[in-house]
Each structure stands twice: as C-alpha cells, then as structure tokens.
Structure 1
Amino acid sequence: MSKLLTNFFNPTKSQIRTKIIKHRGFIPRTDKVPLQVPENLKQVQAELKAAKLPENEYLMHADFFNVHNLFTVTDLFNARIHYGHREGTLDDRMKPYIFGKRMGHIIFDLDKTALYLRKALNFAAHTAYRDGLILFVGRNPQCTNLIENTAKECEEFAHARMWRKGLFTNSVMQFREVTRLPDLCIFLNTLNDVLLPHDGIKESAKMMIPTIGVVDSNCNPSLITYPIPGNDDSQVSIEFYCNIFKQAILRGKQKAKEDAEKRKKPANIASSQTAEENVEKIAVKSSQ
C-alpha cells in the first residue's frame, strides 16, 4: 500500500510525460521504425567511385593534402601543447585525453592530440579546397593581432574581439542584412574571459556550423565537432596552431587552383582547334 501511495504522489518523469501526452490527445508511439536505407545505395556508391571527378577522389583518400607531415609529436612538445591546468580544474569530459599528472599539473597525451589535430587539419584543408568561408575565433587579448594576421595571410576571416550574442543565430539583426555564415569556425580559445564556455560554440552548434576547437583540461569538448586536446593559454602554443592551420588552408586553396587550371586547358585546346578550323574554311572559300 505504501508503494502505491508513493507512486501516486511522486510519479516519475516518464509517467508525467505520458499523462500530458494523453491529455493533449496524442497517443505515444511504442514502435521503432528502422532506418530506411535506399535500395540503390550500393549503385550510388559505385557511381561515385567510378566518376573521375577530383572532389570524389579527395574525399575517398584518407589524407590527400598530406597534413600529417606538417608537424610531429616533438613539435607539439616544443610548443608546450602538453601543459594543462592544475588538478582541481580538470573537467571530467577531458579524462580520455589525459596522460597523467606531474607536480600538481595535468599532462596531455600528445599521441592522441596529434591524431585529433590531423583530423582537424584535414577537414580545414577540404573546406578551403571547396571555397568555404573559414572564421578564426579567439578571445585572448595577447593573441588578437596574431589571429587577425593569420586570417589575412590565408585570405580568411577572424573574430578576436568580444562576442555579441546572436551573431550567428540572429545575424540579420546584427548585420542589418542577410549575411552568409562561415562554413567552418576555428576556436583557438573555447572559454571566454570569465572561464565560461564561448558563446560562439553554442551558436555554431545551433546553426549546424562545423567547429574546430582547442580544448584545455578545464574545457568542455562536447559541442565541438573536431576537438583538439592541448594547451590554449601560452603564446607559443597559439602561434603553433595558427601556423599549421594556415599551411593546411593554403594547401587546400593551392590544390583548388591547380585543378581549375587543369579544367581550363582542355577548353582552351578545343577553342583553339575550332578557331583553326574556321580560319581554314575561310581560306578555302576565299580561294574558290
């Protein structure tokens, strides 16, 4: 009897939810519809592999832009990427990326950092190859000039100032017109001045914008598409991140220019051949 009374006066969340749904006239679904896979899925995959478009070849390749040779684990160590914060500031979601502790400070596993960093560089190179807009975001006042100069050198954009709320989610009111949002955001600092999550990360997740973020030991990597575990406070580490991301973006753009020139060459050859044929026809007619 006591159990019945406790269940009656203290219902669970699922019981409350079913009561509200039934009160509104809806019947809760109990069946689970399986994911419907197209019948011609294998045919589509075979056509993509058979197509000789360079974009398909690049996507099938694990590391087409060779971003793995941009750095080594020794370079990460020299850039002080392995330094974390003190033990008491560790976020539980960062435990898989931790190697250990030394003298009260957290040490990152640089092998895992290198793996995640190469994935992020590969994605950045693909975005640059497809002419996507890339936005560098930082909040450290000491690195404002560095971040903006890096964006200028690779002909991209930067936002190293205070983030206004609604910059992505309410861009029409912020810019007074319809504005194209970035295709990729690279966060060199995922926390703001008061050690709270950066507002740009939440807005990027709401607008489904892919993000690359350097997450320190006191950060939350959940909302970041490509997290990079490592130090985000020292000047040396920020310079290292800016340098390698700039190289990856420039590699993608250089490859896009090369492919564009290759596509123009057959068209120029065909146009020159047709021009020569027209000249010969005119010469034949004039001789007659």
Structure 2
Amino acid sequence: MALLSMKDLLEAGVHFGHRTRKWNPKMARYIYTERKGIHIIDLGQTLDLFERAYEFVRSQSAQGKPILFVGTKRQVQPTIEEEAKRCGSPYTNQRWIGGCLTNFEVIRRRILHMLELERNFAEGKYERLPLKERIKLEKELNYLRRNLDGLRTLDRLPGAVYLIDPTVEVHAVREANLLGIPIVAICDTDSDPDMVDYPIPGNDDAIKSTRLITARIADAVIEGREGLQTAEPAPAEPGEPQGMPEPELLNVETDTHLMEMWEELAGEEGKE
C-alpha cells in the first residue's frame, strides 16, 4: 500500500508553489513547470522524497528517539499540535524559543519547574500563600505553559526535527544544524532545501497540504514505535507513468477542479 498517491497530493494542492518572482533558485530541481505566474512542484519527486523522509522518521522512532514537530505559522499551528499529540511527540507551535536545542539543559530545567508548579497547584500546596504570591505563581505557570507545554515530554535532544517551512522556522533550522540533528521539512518554492536533510517539496502554506503530509509523518512515528514494517510498494505496471501526470492535468487554465482549488488557496489562505 502506497504511503501517498499522486491523487492525494493533487487534491490537497501540494503541487502549488509560490509566485515565480518569489522563488528560491535552489528549488529549481523540484519545479515541474510554471502556470500563470505560479510555480508547479514536481510531485513525482515529492512522492520519492516523502517516502525517504517517512522511512527515516520511522527508523528514528523505532530506536526510541523523539521527533520534535515545529510549525509556528498561524494556519499550521492546529495541525502541528493535533498530529504531535496523536503520535505522542513533543512540539512547538507558538514561537521558537531561542536555545531550545542549543541550550537544552536550561530549557529542560524550565520544563521541570513548570511540572513542579503544576504538581504543587494540584496538591494544594499554595493554598496558604498570600493571594498576591499565589497570583504571581499562577502567572508564571501560564507563561511557561504558553511557551513550553508542547515540550513537556522532551527529556533529551530529539533524534530529528520535523518542521513546516524552513524559511519561517530558520532559528530552529540553525540550531538543529549546529547540533547535527537531522531535519525533515516541507519545502515550498521559496525555501532553501540545502538547509534540511530530508526536504519534501510541497505547498507549505495551504492547510490541506500541510495537514496531509504532517499526518503521514505522525503515522511514521507511530509505526516506528510499534515496530511495524512498511509494506513494499507494488511494482508499477509496464507503461505506468513514474513522474508527474501528463501536463494537461496540471494546467490551471483548463482544469476546472484545479482552478477552483487554486482560487481557494490563493484567496482564502493568502498564498503568494
């Protein structure tokens, strides 16, 4: 059974890149064509690179290494939180905390302090404190939760970082690179794929696109943890296309379904 199909990617709008004027030339090798000033991503390569990333994440998870999910853009915050929780992974979907990786020991102490505050409040240990002191501790706990809640289970450096949009998450990318932590990332046509170890060429702005890929990465974490084996993909029939579908399938001028999808993405989600 295939992890993803070309139909899955097309329906989620994974192939829509940014406007041509906003491209990063390093993404040229992943671009299939251009339509009406929009770069179209080569989904044949997306499928191949996704499967490579999937296997890597699965193997890391099978070794008991945590996978850190990162996505702070407004439209991907719910997806990052939901999928990370579903697969039991740590995540950060608010702002990236400087030193989260490179100064991990300090961050971990703050996490432990947050857990201690929660435990003390739950046990009623602060009930006899003056109101002013109790309010101060509540504010501190709320602040820590807002920034560290998704990291509460991260008790050591992650085995890999999965993130959406390395351009936006540049600080996370730099810290991971400094420490040699592998990065898996959805890279749009404005990204620098050389910054990450396992780039997945695709639309990193649309909710459907990012949710589809993130959900499959979460599946890889779960599969690795459960020790499952990925089924071997069925061999292609003779004459079956291996790359992108025929060009007319991607022509946003003639394909009504894709044109409607494009208008939705460009209009509602601000794709540029």
What is the letter of the counterpart of residue 144 of structure 1?
Q
Indicate yes or no: 2:193 matched with 1:221. yes
Indicate conservation of the 8 Å contact 1:139/1:189, yes or no.
no
Q: 1:169 aligns with which of 102, 108, 116?
A: 102
Q: 1: distance between equivalents of 2:9 and 2:228?
A: 29
Indicate conservation of the 8 Å contact 1:99/1:109, yes or no.
yes
> Which residue pairs with 2:87 in the alignment?
154
Indicate yes or no: 2:208 matched with 1:236. yes
> Which residue pairs with 1:145 in the alignment?
78
| Displacement after TM superposition at 1:191 (Å) | 2.4
Indicate conservation of the 8 Å contact 1:124/1:245, yes or no.
yes
Q: 1: distance between equivalents of 2:90 and 2:228?
A: 19
Indicate conservation of the 8 Å contact 1:185/1:210, yes or no.
yes
What are the ranges of 5 or more consecutive residues in structure 2 without an aligned counterpart? Answer: 113-154, 230-272
How far does the alpha carbon of each residue in 1:250-278 deviate from its partner, in whole angstroms, 9 at most, with x for none? Answer: 22122269xxxxxxxxxxxxxxxxxxxxx
Give aligned pairs, total. Answer: 186
TM-score normalised by L of structure 2: 0.65
> Which residue pairs with 1:83 in the alignment?
16
Report the secondary structure of 2:193's partner residue.
coil
Report the secondary structure of 1:70's partner residue.
coil
What is the letter of the counterpart of residue 186 of structure 2?
V
> Which residue pairs with 2:243 in the alignment?
none
> Which residue pairs with 2:43 in the alignment?
110
Indicate conservation of the 8 Å contact 1:130/1:256, yes or no.
no
> Which residue pairs with 1:205 in the alignment?
177
How far does the alpha carbon of each residue in 1:37-91 deviate from its partner, in whole angstroms, 9 at most, with x for none? Answer: xxxxxxxxxxxxxxxxxxxxxxxxxxxxxxx712111211111110000111110
What is the letter of the counterpart of residue 216 of structure 1?
D
Indicate conservation of the 8 Å contact 2:73/2:93, yes or no.
yes
Report which of the two structures shows the higher radius of gyration computed on alpha carbons: 1
Indicate conservation of the 8 Å contact 2:187/2:193, yes or no.
yes
Indicate conservation of the 8 Å contact 1:82/1:109, yes or no.
yes
RMSD (Å) for aligned C-alpha atoms: 1.9
Question: Aligned ranges for residues 89-108 of structure 1 at < 5 Å?
Answer: 89-108=22-41
The answer to which structure, 1 or 2, has the higher relative contact order (CA under 8 A, 6+ apart) is 2
TM-score normalised by L of structure 1: 0.61
| Displacement after TM superposition at 1:93 (Å) | 0.5
How far does the alpha carbon of each residue in 1:81-135 deviate from its partner, in whole angstroms, 9 at most, with x for none? Answer: 1000011111011000000100000000100111101000000111111111111
Q: 2: distance between equivalents of 1:88 and 1:166?
A: 34
For structure 1, which segment, 142-151 or 215-224, has the greater mean C-alpha deviation from structure 2 after superposition? 142-151
What are the ranges of 5 or more consecutive residues in structure 1 without an aligned counterpart? Answer: 1-67, 258-288
Report the secondary structure of 2:192's partner residue.
coil
What is the letter of the counterpart of residue 192 of structure 2?
N
